[in-house]
Amino acid sequence: MAASTGQPIGARAQNFLNSLSGRVTGFTPFKNAAGANIPQTISLDNIFNKWSGIGAASFIYGLLPVKQLPHKSKAKTLGKSLLSAGILSGLFMPGNPHTTNLISSRPTLALSSTEVSYT
């Protein structure tokens, strides 16, 4: 955002929106604004890690309606903490796996080249 220093408020707003959407998705809506080449640095793929999985499982354990289970309230509290910590650490984890924009990349189907003849 240093590229918009001394610019009018409209140019600064375009630069801010480019920076925000560029960091999250890799897509910049204003191509002609100052500093429009912003790489994607926040990865949404990393939020599903072992800590968020353990936290979700522990939180669900705390929500079960069975009264005989031990430490349900502690498991629910620990689950909330681990789930939020896993999601936040996953968002800002270094090593972005994307080589393209998150919006423009589409999954492709891999088809087998073997053919079966039914004669």
CA distance 52 to 46: 10
Spell out the residues 6+ positions from residue 11 whose beta carbon is closer than 8 angstroms to its own.
4, 33, 34
H-state helical runs in the chain: 9-25, 50-63, 72-91
Q: What local confidence, expressed as pLDDT, does residue 29 receive?
A: 84
Q: Does pLDDT of 72 surpass 90?
A: yes
- Residue with more model confidence, 26 or 94: 26
CB 82 within 8 A of CB 62: no
What DSSP state is assigned to residue 85?
H
Residue 53, pLDDT > 90, answer yes
Average pLDDT, the chain: 78
Is the pLDDT at 38 greater than 80? The verdict is no
| pLDDT category of residue 54 using cuts at 50, 70 and 90 | very high
pTM, rounded to two decimals: 0.53
The answer on pLDDT for 117 being more than 90 is: no
